[in-house]
Structure formats: C-alpha cells, structure tokens
C-alpha cells in the first residue's frame, strides 16, 4: 500500500499581511491590505484610504511575526516542520512598487527569516504576491488592469530571485489567482482601489477590466517563471488555485450541467493557463459571452506557453452545493458559499466540513494536470478558549485535520503524486474575510484580540503535539 513519500513536505502556511505587522517599519510602504478595516461575521470589512482613527486596521500589527519570527520558527521546528509556506510583502521590498531601488532593510528581513528556517532544515515555499500589492500600485497605476504593472511585478520577482536564489527553491507567483473571478476579490489583489468599497461585498464591477487584470497577472507570472528559470534552473514554480469543489444539490441533469460549467470556468481556467500554457475553450467562449475582450497578443500567448509552472497547489477548506432550483438554506465558505448540504456539518463560520471532497479534488486535479500536487492551505477557523492554566483544548481542530489527512492519504493510495501539505494559519493570524483575530486556525495561539490588544505571547494548543506526532510518523499516526 502506498504511503506518503519519504521526502513529503509537512508544514504550515501564512501570508505576510496576516502575520507580520510592523506595517511601516524599516522602510515598508503601505500595501492594499493596510487600508482594510476589521469586520465581523455580519459587518463587512471596509476600505478606508484616509486611515481613520476610529477604525482598527488588523494588518498594522497582525501577530507581530516581524519581531517574533525566531520564536515562531523555533516552534515550527519543534513540531517537525519540513517546510513553511510564507509570502513576501511586495511593499517591504518596493515600498511604492516603482521605486528606483529595493529597500535594503526589507531584503534583509527575509534573508534573516530564510537563515532561521535553514537552521532547522525547513524548506521555504514562497508566495510572491499574496493579496498584498503596494497601495501606490493601486492608486497610481489602477492596479493590475494596467499592463505597466506586469513590468513592476517582474522587476519585483526578479529582485527576489536574485537575492534569494540560494535560499529558496519553491515559488508561487500568486496566491489563489482565480479569486479574480469574483468581483469582491479583485480589490484584495489590487486590481482596482475603490475608497467607497466594502471588502468582500459586491461593488461596482467591470468584468472586462477584471478579467483583463487577471490576464495581466498570468502574463506576469509567465514572464517571472521564464526569468526565474534563467537565474536558477532548480527553481520550482507552483500555480495556486482556490479550488472550490462543487456538487449538484440534486441529480437533476440541469444541476449536473450547472456544476460542470462552473467547475470548468472557476476551477480550471487559471490552472490551464498556468500549467498548459493556454486558455481552455470553455473559458474563452464564456468570457466572450460576458463581453470581455481579452487583451492578449501573439507575443503574450507565446509567453504563456513558455512560462508554465511545474507543480499544482491549491487551497481546500470546503465544498459547495449548487442548484438551478431555489433552496432557502445557504452556507458560507472561502471566497464563496453555496446551498446547505444535508450530509455535511459546518464550522462556526458556516463553512461546510467535507474531508472526502479533498480526496475527490486531488483525484480530479491529478487526472487533469499530471504534475506533482501540494496542498498549500487547509484548516478550520474556530473561536479557541485560552484556559486559566494556559492551555487550549482544540480537539475540534484535531478532528478536522485528522479527517482531511486521512482522505489525503487515501488519495495517495489511489496514485496521486502529492508532495506536501501546508496547514493554513499554523500560527494564529488575521482572517482575510472578516479581519478578525478571533477566527483562529493555528497550532500556536497568539494572545491578541480584535482591537489589537494583548501580550502577543505564543501558546501551544493541543493540536501542536498532535501535529508533531503526525509529522514524526510521516502521516501514519493520525
Ligand atoms: C484563503 C486565503 C488565506 C486565508 C484563508 C482563510 O482564501 O488565501 O489568506 O485567509 O482563505 O480565510 P479566512 O481568513 O477568511 O478564514
């Protein structure tokens, strides 16, 4: 029976704007993430260009990884991490995106982080852009809709490749690039900056602009991949897809067709471009139907063909159910929700819990792309209780992860070439959808609340020892 490969990359994942804090320290510029206020389950986050005092901006302090990275990485090492997925803050390297020179203190910070990881033989997996572009790229250039931003990004990426070519092998050009399929996420990617907007709610949207912004991001990725391989032929580049596994709510043929069409469009388009080098027929037709005129010339088409990634990564939190018929009960989810699935339970934030869906996804994705796969995000956001004796009993998190790892193991037995698993938010961090701190994912509790108060002390949850045992047994002891 097949088991996880002996060099399986067990680890965890975070993103700069959700952990680092120090938002203006050592020359960092403002990022789009720095102008988004805290929200809640019911109140959406706001974009506020003016930095109003009455608002809390969670990224400004986050969980202060910037000053705690040594302690945090030591804790990752104690769990036995083989890899750590992190992102680099573009605005720490180029504070305005178009600065004449990179910021030396920003460059140094990541050298220091990589050196610390190396001490413990932890492989860095680096996301170049995780919903975090310099604000000036949004305000001066109107973000990714402007083709000049392709060059700014490539310059930024090449700067990283040159500086970190001895320290980093695994790169991910963009986090969840297909989030751009949804208007609400275009803001996070800096595709447009609308000061009136509320984050993660439907705002005025121009699909032509949005899909062209996405197209520019994929051209930028291809160009960066080509340049990166020239700098170090051992670099690996991964696409990162927000994979929403979809089920027909009924077996009515119309529901089956609906799910197939949405799967082709939302899940496959970006992965096809970034792994096969061209848009799939379905997406091209669909975009045309939606009035999108893709600005993609023959030179750019050739770049997409040449600059393909070599491994597939995705985030998986839940599945959604869809139907052409009306159903009243709905669920939430990562980026999008669906209709309530009577066979699944849900998290406190109403995200369906579906471990089998992970196996289904792995089989489907491997069958389509036949490249090594890495799960770069998976986990459960919960309100954790810090007990008076300094313990956190998160058995619900252990249960969620155990069930998912079990299905992941079965997918390996099925023959899927899986190379790694990064638990999302291995260290408690700021939630993207709500900006809240109380929605926690970590094995490590951070003492900080939604107003930014707290000692920032790190505390091991029960899941910490559990994950250490999982890694020590290479996934056989769940
Ligand atoms: C993904 C993002 C992550 C992360 C995760 C959990 O879409 O890539 O950055 O935040 O979702 O979502 P949330 O923080 O809203 O619970």
Kindly report, residue by residue over 2-40, the tens digit of the pLDDT.
899 999 999 999 999 999 999 999 999 999 899 888 887
Which of 384, 432, 438, 439 to mutate for ligand 1's pocket (most ligand atoms within 8 Å of CB)?
432
Asked if 71 is an active-site residue, the reply is no
pLDDT of residue 129: 96
pLDDT of residue 150: 98
- Mean pLDDT to the nearest integer, 400-415: 98
Average model confidence (pLDDT) across the chain: 94
pLDDT of residue 48: 76
What ipTM did this prediction achieve?
A: 0.98
11: tokens are 């680890």
Residue 263 to residue 280: CA distance in whole angstroms: 12
Q: Is the pLDDT of residue 202 over 70?
A: no
Atom of ligand 1 nearest to the CA of 433: 15
Residue 478 in domain = no
How many angstroms does the Cα of residue 56 sit away from the middle of ligand 1?
A: 19
Residue 128 in domain = yes
Residue 206 to residue 297: CA distance in whole angstroms: 21
- Helices 65-79 and 104-119 cross at an angle (nearest 10°) of 20
Residue 336 to residue 321: CA distance in whole angstroms: 11
Residue 1 in domain = no
Domain that holds residue 151: 9-472
Q: Is 124 helix (H, G, I), strand (E, B) or coil?
A: strand
Please pick, among 116, 123, 300, 377, the residue that the annotation labels catalytic: 377
Q: Which of 357, 358, 336, 331 is nearest to 423 (CA)?
A: 358
Give the side-chain half-sphere CA count within 13 A for 8. 26
Beta-sheet pairing, 236-242 with 123-129 = unpaired
**pLDDT, tens only, 416-455:** 999 999 999 999 999 998 899 999 999 999 999 988 899 9
What is the pTM for the complete model shown? 0.97
Question: Does 341 contact ligand 1 (Cβ within 6 A)?
Answer: no
Instruction: Please answer whether residues 469 and 397 qualify as being in contact, where contact means their C-beta atoms are separated by less than 8 angstroms.
Output: no
Question: Does 85 contact ligand 1 (Cβ within 6 A)?
Answer: no
Residue 2 in domain = no
Please pick, among 116, 176, 300, 436, the residue that the annotation labels catalytic: 176
Beta-sheet pairing, 444-446 with 458-460 = antiparallel
Q: Total structural domains in the chain?
A: 1
Residue 58's CATH number: 3.20.20.80
Residue 154 in domain = yes
Residue 245 in domain = yes
pLDDT of residue 472: 98
As a dihedral over the C-alpha atoms of residue 141, residue 28, residue 68, residue 187, rounded to 10 degrees, the angle is -20
Q: Is 97 helix (H, G, I), strand (E, B) or coil?
A: coil
pLDDT of residue 190: 65
Question: Does 268 contact ligand 1 (Cβ within 6 A)?
Answer: no
Asked if 176 is an active-site residue, the reply is yes
């Amino acid at each position: 029976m097949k088991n996880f490969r002996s060099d399986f990359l067990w680890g965890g994942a975070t993103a700069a704007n959700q952990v680092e804090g120090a938002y203006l320290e050592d020359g960092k510029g403002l990022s789009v993430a720095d102008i988004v206020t805290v929200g809640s389950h019911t109140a959406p986050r706001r974009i506020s260009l003016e930095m109003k005092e009455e608002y809390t901006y969670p990224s400004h302090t986050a969980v202060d990884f910037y000053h705690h990275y040594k302690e945090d990485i030591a804790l990752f090492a104690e769990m036995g991490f083989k890899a750590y997925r992190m992102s680099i803050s573009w605005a720490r390297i180029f504070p305005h995106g178009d600065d004449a020179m990179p910021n030396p203190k920003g460059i140094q910070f990541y050298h220091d982080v990589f050196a610390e990881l190396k001490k413990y033989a932890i492989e860095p997996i680096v996301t170049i852009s995780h919903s975090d572009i310099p604000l000036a790229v949004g305000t001066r250039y109107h973000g990714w809709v402007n083709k000049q931003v392709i060059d700014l990004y490539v310059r930024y990426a090449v700067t990283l490749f040159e500086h970190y070519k001895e320290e980093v092998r695994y790169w991910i050009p963009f986090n969840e690039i297909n989030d751009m399929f949804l208007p609400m996420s275009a803001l996070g990617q800096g595709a447009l900056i609308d000061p009136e907007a509320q984050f993660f709610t439907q705002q005025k949207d121009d699909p032509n602009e949005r899909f062209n912004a996405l197209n520019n991001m994929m051209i930028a990725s291809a160009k960066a991949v080509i340049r990166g391989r020239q700098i170090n032929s051992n670099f690996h580049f991964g696409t990162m897809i927000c994979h929403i596994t979809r089920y027909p709510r009924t077996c009515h043929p119309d529901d089956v067709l609906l799910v197939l069409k949405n799967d082709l469009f939302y899940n496959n388009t970006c992965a096809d471009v970034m792994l096969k080098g061209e848009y799939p027929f379905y997406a091209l037709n669909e975009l045309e139907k939606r009035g999108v005129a893709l600005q993609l010339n023959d030179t750019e088409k050739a770049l997409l063909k040449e600059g393909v990634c070599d491994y597939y990564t995705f985030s998986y939190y839940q599945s959604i159910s869809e139907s052409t018929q009306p159903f009243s009960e709905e669920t939430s989810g990562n980026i999008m929700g669906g209709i309530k699935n009577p066979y699944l339970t849900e998290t406190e934030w109403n995200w369906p819990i579906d471990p089998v869906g992970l196996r289904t996804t792995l089989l489907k994705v491997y069958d389509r792309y036949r490249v090594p796969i890495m799960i770069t995000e998976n986990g459960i956001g919960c309100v954790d209780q810090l007990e008076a004796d300094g313990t956190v009993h998160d058995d619900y998190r252990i249960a969620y992860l155990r069930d998912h790892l079990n299905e992941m193991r079965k997918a390996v037995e099925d023959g899927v070439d899986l190379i790694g698993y990064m638990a999302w938010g291995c260290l408690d961090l700021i939630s993207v959808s709500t900006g809240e701190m109380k929605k926690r994912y970590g094995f490590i509790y951070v003492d900080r609340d939604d107003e930014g108060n707290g000692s920032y002390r790190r505390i091991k949850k029960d899941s910490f020892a559990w994950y250490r045992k999982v890694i020590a047994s290479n996934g056989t002891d769940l």
